[in-house]
C-alpha cells in the first residue's frame, strides 16, 4: 500500500512537471495530460479499494443494518469522488464557475442520496422514544 502511494505521488509530480512545460507551448495538451493522469490514478485507486469496501460491508452486516444503507454509502462515496475529480479538472482549466456548479450539483446529489438514510434514522429514533 505504501509503495503504491509513493508510485502515485511520483507519477503525479512527474505529470505536474510535464504539464508546466507543456503549458508554454500547448495548454490543451497539458490539460489532457492532467485528465489522463487523474483518470489513471483513480482507476488504480479503485482497485485498491476492494479490501476496504469488503470490510465496511462486513461491519454493516454485523451491525444488522439493511443493505439499502450500504447502497446509499457506496453511491454517496461515488458522488464525492466524481464531484471532486470533475471540480478539480474544471479548476485546473481555470473554469472556476464550472467548478462551483459541479460542486453544487454534487452536494445536491449527495443530499438526495441521503434521504433514505435520514428517513431510516428518524424511524429508529421514533421507535426508541415511542
| Domain limits, the chain | 1-48, 50-130
21 pLDDT band (50/70/90 cuts)?
Answer: very high
Measuring CA to CA, which residue among 104, 95, 98 is closest to residue 31? 95
Q: Cell for 105? A: 450539483
Q: What is the largest CA-CA distance in the chain?
A: 68
pLDDT tens per residue across span 73-107:
889 988 998 999 899 889 988 899 999 999 999 99
pTM for this structure?
A: 0.67
Those residues whose C-beta lies under 8 Å from the C-beta of residue 25, and which sit 6 or more positions away, are: none
**Total residue length of the chain:** 130
Amino acid at each position: 500500500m505504501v509503495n503504491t502511494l509513493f508510485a502515485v505521488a511520483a507519477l503525479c509530480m512527474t505529470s505536474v512537471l510535464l504539464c508546466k512545460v507543456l503549458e508554454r507551448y500547448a495548454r490543451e495538451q497539458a490539460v489532457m495530460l492532467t485528465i489522463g493522469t487523474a483518470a489513471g490514478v483513480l482507476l488504480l485507486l479503485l482497485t485498491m479499494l476492494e479490501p476496504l469496501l469488503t470490510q465496511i460491508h462486513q461491519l454493516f452486516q454485523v451491525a444488522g443494518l439493511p443493505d439499502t444503507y450500504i447502497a446509499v454509502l457506496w453511491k454517496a462515496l461515488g458522488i464525492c469522488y466524481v464531484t471532486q475529480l470533475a471540480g478539480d479538472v474544471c479548476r485546473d482549466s481555470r473554469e472556476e464557475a464550472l467548478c462551483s456548479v459541479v460542486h453544487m450539483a454534487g452536494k445536491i446529489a449527495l443530499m438526495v442520496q441521503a434521504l433514505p438514510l435520514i428517513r431510516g434514522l428518524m424511524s429508529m429514533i421514533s421507535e426508541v422514544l415511542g
